[in-house]
Copies of this chain bind each other. A is one copy, B any other.
Amino acid sequence: MRFITRDTDYALRAMVLMARALRQEGRKVFTVEEIVLEEKLPKVFLRRILQKLAEKNMLLSYKGKSGGFSFLVKPARISIANVIRVFQGEIELTNCLLKGKICPNRPECKIRKKIKALNSRVVKDLENINIEELSE
């Protein structure tokens, strides 16, 4: 089962790396190249990922020579849930039941309700894990 896709995974790793260097060495700006060397990730793919995080106002990007990416939001305020949402959309365990096509006759389906309650807990948990603590 795929819960976290590679987009999300790479984004988390890149930011965890950045958060650690920020805390330990005060380093703020990272190029894609630097992160790729540390983490051994596909370069252009990671670039697009960081671009998206910048577009979503988690990171700040600097174009041109000696450019790169830094945090716009403090690592402590970026949760795993936030990152998942950027790349995978809303966290939704009940996809099977919410679309008319698949479950047209069950407006008050029990499976749905049960899974929704579970979903809320999962989301809450994911909201409570942030990049800062992951970097410690």
Distance, CA A90 to CA B2, complexed state (A): 11
Bound-complex Cα distance A91 to B105 (A):
28
Q: How large is the interface on A (under 10, 10 to 19, 20 to 34, 35 or more residues)?
A: 35 or more
Task: State whether the Cβ of A55 lies closer than 8 Å to any Cβ in chain B.
Answer: no
B118–A125 contact, CB under 8 A? Answer: yes
Chain B residues closer than 8 Å to A37, beta-carbon distance = none
Say yes or no: is A92 at the interface (Cβ < 8 Å to chain B): yes
Q: Residue of B at shortest CB range from A117?
A: B125
A residues lining the B interface (CB < 8 Å): 1-6, 8-9, 12-13, 16, 40, 80, 84, 88-97, 102, 104-105, 110-111, 114-115, 118, 121-122, 125-126, 129, 133-136
